[in-house]
Amino acid sequence: MMELLRKRRSIRAFTPEPVAPETVDLLVEALLRAPSSRGKNPWEFVVVDDKELLEQLSRSKEHGSQFIKKAPLAIVVCADTTLSDVWVEDCSIAAIIVQMAALSLGLGSCWAQMRNRNHDADRSAEEYIRKLLGLPERLGVVCVIGIGHPGEVKTPVPADKLQYDKVKRNRYA
C-alpha cells in the first residue's frame, strides 16, 4: 500500500486505449467494498465509457473537468442524500479507494470535484450532471473520476517535500 501511495499522482492525460471490461469489473468491486458510516452505503455510481457522454461530462464545470474528454472511462460518484448525513464523506472514501485500485491495476486517474461547483452562472455542476445522466434529485454528486491508461508520467513527490510540519503529536501547540 505504501508503494502505491508514494506513486499516486493525478493523471489528466490518457492514451486512447480502452479500459478492459474485466478491469472495469474490478474497479466496480473496489467501489462496492468501500466502507461507509453505519453501513448505510448511500453511494451510487455511474460508470461511463460512452465517448459522447465523456465529452459532455468534461464540460460539467467551468474549470478543471476538461481532462475527462480524453479519458476512456469515468465514474460519477454520487449518493442518496436522504440515507446518511455523512454521504459526502462516504463518497469521498469510495472515490479514493477506486483511484488506488486503478493505480494498482496500472491505470491513472484524477478526481474532478462537482459538489459546490458551478456549471455556469445559472446552474450547478451537480444539476448539469443530474440532467445529463438522468439522475434523481435525491442524488448528490460529489465528483467525477477520469480513469485510463496514463498518457503522462509524473514522478512521485519526494519524501523531503512532504509537509511534515502539518503533523503534530498529542497536542497542536
Under a CB-based contact definition with an 8 Å cutoff, are residues 107 and 148 in contact?
A: yes
pLDDT class for 106, splitting at 50, 70, 90? very high
For 80, list phi and psi in degrees, rounded to 5: -75, 110
Q: What is the pTM of this model?
A: 0.95
- Domain-embedded: residue 35: yes
**Residue 158 falls within a domain, yes or no?**
yes
Q: CA-CA distance, 167 to 171, in Å (whole number)? A: 10
How large a percentage of the chain has pLDDT more than 70? 100
Measured distance CA(160)–CA(156) in Å, rounded: 11
**What range does the domain containing 135 cover?**
2-166
Sign of the alpha-carbon dihedral angle for 36, 37, 40, 45: negative
Query: How many domains is the chain partitioned into structurally?
Result: 1
Tell me, yes or no, whether 149 lies in a domain.
yes
> Which pLDDT score, from 0 to 100, does residue 7 have?
93
Poorest-confidence range of 5-9, 70-74, 109-113?
A: 5-9
Question: How many Cβ atoms sit within 10 Å of the Cβ of residue 114?
Answer: 25
pLDDT of residue 69: 97
Q: Which residue matches cell numbers 449518493?
A: 79
* Angle between the N-to-C axes of helices 21-32 and 87-104, in degrees from 0 to 180, rounded to the nearest 10: 140
Q: Is residue 173 part of a domain?
A: no
Write out the E strands in the chain.
Answer: 43-48, 73-80, 108-113, 139-148
Average pLDDT in the chain: 97
Confidence of residue 128 (pLDDT cuts 50, 70, 90): very high
Identify the three-state secondary structure at position 80: strand
107 within domain boundaries: yes
Rama region for 14: left / alpha / beta (φ>0; ψ in -120 to 50; rest): beta
DSSP-H helix ranges across the chain: 2-7, 21-32, 51-57, 87-104, 125-133
Residue 85, in any domain of the structure: yes
In a domain, 172, yes or no: no
In a domain, 171, yes or no: no
Q: CATH number for the domain including 153?
A: 3.40.109.10
